[in-house]
Structure 1
Amino acid sequence: MPVFLHGLSTALPPHVLTQDEVRERAGIIFGAKYPQFERLSKSFATAGIDRRYSVVPIDWFSEEHGWVDRNVAFIEGAKAMFLDAARLALLNAGWQAEEVDCVVTVSSTGIATPTLEAQVFSDMGFREDIMRVPLFGLGCAGGVTGLSVAQSLAKAREGAKVLLVVIETCSLSFRADRLQKADIIATALFGDGSAAACLSTDATDGKTRVELGQGYQKMWPDTLSIMGWDVDEAGFGVVFDRSIPTFVRNEFAAATRGALDASALKHDEIDRYTAATPKPEFFHGL
């Protein structure tokens, strides 16, 4: 049974941080106490990022923070982005919030219990019998994995309206206390944002039809230390192992072939690949 995309949206927090501004502030924070900063600061120029968005203003990063104020900022910023992204996706789909049968919420950069879709329940106007599917800990794969889960749920319930909302506030995990290379790289790369999508087996009316195929996931043993969070008294601390480029180079082509095989597709049938991080040459093994 095919699943169709009915609406799609993005939403951003209010604070705009240019890359030059972030580089300058990072220099003030790290420069005097982290000798390797000047060498690592080249990452700001090579990251290909002109600006990013944040739920907190740039002066926030010069202050000390712990679990409590980080998570307060997460809940406030994430709720605002949930409302903006979800409402726009519903508008694009021509749906009302009370029509939504299932909401899938993805986030790995803060903790809310009850989860975010419950936090915005009244503001959104969801039905009391809505199915809630919160997903935590998927990291960089959260968006595409969440879309796969939402597609599977829509396919399993013919005619059900499924809303996916993905929200990340990476800026709140900024750590000036750890003085690790991973923290400098994260500062050069990540920002905050959200996206939402409306899915259903019902065909779209008067629109170009976008059909979503079955998702594909793969896990590797003995890779828990490559990427993720360290959790301590101050909050989340990013984990980036130096083996990541080599691992992706060695494993990316085979994983992609597995995804193609699962969908009965061949490499020469694909017009364009879109990937979160791999370099173009990683596709050459296909």
Structure 2
Amino acid sequence: MDSLLSVCDIKEDVSYIIDLAIKIKAGEIEDMPLEGKTLAMIFQKSSTRTRVSFDVGMYQLGGRAIFLSSNDLQMGRGEPISDTAKVLSRFVDGIMIRAIEHEDVVELAKYSNVPVISGLTNLEHPCQALADMLTIKEHFGSFKGKKICFVGDGNNVCNSLLLIAPLLGMDMSVACPEGYEPDENILKISKNFAKDNNTEITISSDINIALDNVDIVYTDVWVSMGDEAEKAKRLKDLKPYQVNKELMDIANDDAIFMHCLPAVRGQEVSADVIDGPQSVIYDEAENRLHAQKAILYHYLK
């Protein structure tokens, strides 16, 4: 059963899904293509954009979404993930899960007879990456010759961007302090993708090197859910990597600023940047809906 657990699962379909999202956003797809379909939405972590976009997306496509928190499931009381997958597969047409551990999503998909879509894990966030690329294509019209730089903690969002950027013909750099690099295996795969697509992936602790000739500057929170015990250390280590006006000035003149939200103004980004003219964060957030609808259409229709 095809599932979306990683950008690697759609490496042949990335451009198609983004183009499909553009068509859906423009109203060019037939009404109610998922009529009669049901999506189970499992949330081990709280969410605004993921929950609302999938719920509204299913509704607008003619289907129905069922919200299930850990407290709503026997899985939260110790039922094996395999049993949950096998049972839910007999009730619904697809499962979306926002999980803590990536391995839990892999196991869920292994035993499911319906598509499983990752709404975020500690390793990747493929749905966010698709929405980000949709936003970039809308803004620049093309991916060709563009470069994106992720600044700060090389987290799950960074990992998915590293995988998707070369697949679309984009260069990518990551500016991060030592100890905050992206996942080693993800980086290895992304460099192979880059080699196959004649693009470049670079990791550097030097902001000036990472931001050279950059069209998109991207950052995320420094203290994610689960990192609270390391908050003081993270704030200290990452402070030099705040995206502010001085940092944006290093990038190209027409560079845009992106952030997957929620954001902490004054930490990873200054208020004058995130609320300034180069910021496209609300277009990016809206595009979670359109990208999610394309994913649902692709996997459930």
Bigger Cα Rg: 1
TM-score (norm 2): 0.28
TM-score (norm 1): 0.29
Greater relative contact order (CA < 8 Å, ≥ 6 in sequence): 1
Structure with greater strand share of residues: 1
